[in-house]
Amino acid sequence: MLKESDLQLRFCTNETQATREKFVAKLQRLGFELSVSEVFSPAPAVVASLRQRQLRPHLLVHDDVLPEFSSVDKTNPNCVVIGDAADKFSYQNLNDAFRVLIGLEKPVLFSMGRGRYYKETDGLKLDVGVYMKALEYACDVEAEVIGKPAPMFFQSVLTDMGIQPHEALMIGDDLVNDVGGAQHAGMKGLQVRTGKYRPSDERHPTVTADGYVDNLAAAVDAILKHRA
């Protein structure tokens, strides 16, 4: 329905275990209509930053997201990029990334997200933020977070849409990363009461959603009704 309106739509994800192509294919199988150009994920945003600043990364990322970095010069690295590498976060691999970073005159660390953990069918899994903190402490640096909740990430999406923050509405299940991040970028943020949502989110000490909806369909109804 939303696709049939004149509203512009973008999908913002912190997914770093797949390319946008695979991510889109997965959502299409679930019945969503979307194209790769509508998807914003950390990897392409990092690639844009690397280009702009002429940086060559040492990558500690999931194998399935490597194709996003295929065009990037990775010789003689002068920065480190980490994503949700999961099982690739071995001692050896983290130590390799650390040695690159500590060897730089001015260490630059990009982290694709700052999540603590997420849930999979077999239980909780440590997320990239945990390894970001590890490298930050090891090298006494502060990582540049690319992805939600970084305001720059939301701004890049607004720029792509050619609109101002107050003209945009973010809908997400993650209070801090989706709603809080969007609000910091000047947008309004709705939280859906599905997925990562917890009742305690509604009394969070620092982030208050501009509204709640029981699910994504209800959000779409509300938006279209509001415009009618």
Q: What is the CA radius of gyration of the chain?
A: 18
Q: How many residues bind a second copy (CB under 8 A)?
A: 30
Using CB under 8 A as the binding rule, the residues of this chain from 61 to 100 that contact a second copy are: 85-92, 94-95, 98-99
Q: Looking at beta carbons only, is 85 or 108 nearer to a second copy?
A: 85
Q: Are 103 and 74 in contact (CB under 8 A)?
A: no
Q: Let me know if 196 is exposed, middle or buried by CB neighbors in 10 A (0-12, 13-18, 19+).
A: middle
Length of the chain (residues):
228
Instruction: Give, in degrees to the nearest 5, the angle at Cα 185 between 34 and 174.
Output: 60
Q: How far is CA 108 from CA 81, 141, 157, in A?
A: 9, 8, 24
Q: How far is the CB of 182 from a second copy (least distance, A)?
A: 23
Based on the shown chain and the rule CB under 8 A, indicate whether residue 200 belongs to the binding site for a second copy: no
Position among 11, 23, 131, 154 found at the interface with a second copy (CB under 8 A): 131
Based on the shown chain and the rule CB under 8 A, indicate whether residue 204 belongs to the binding site for a second copy: no
Based on the shown chain and the rule CB under 8 A, indicate whether residue 104 belongs to the binding site for a second copy: no
Q: Which residues bind a second copy (CB under 8 A)?
A: 85-92, 94-95, 98-99, 102, 116-117, 123-126, 129-131, 133-140
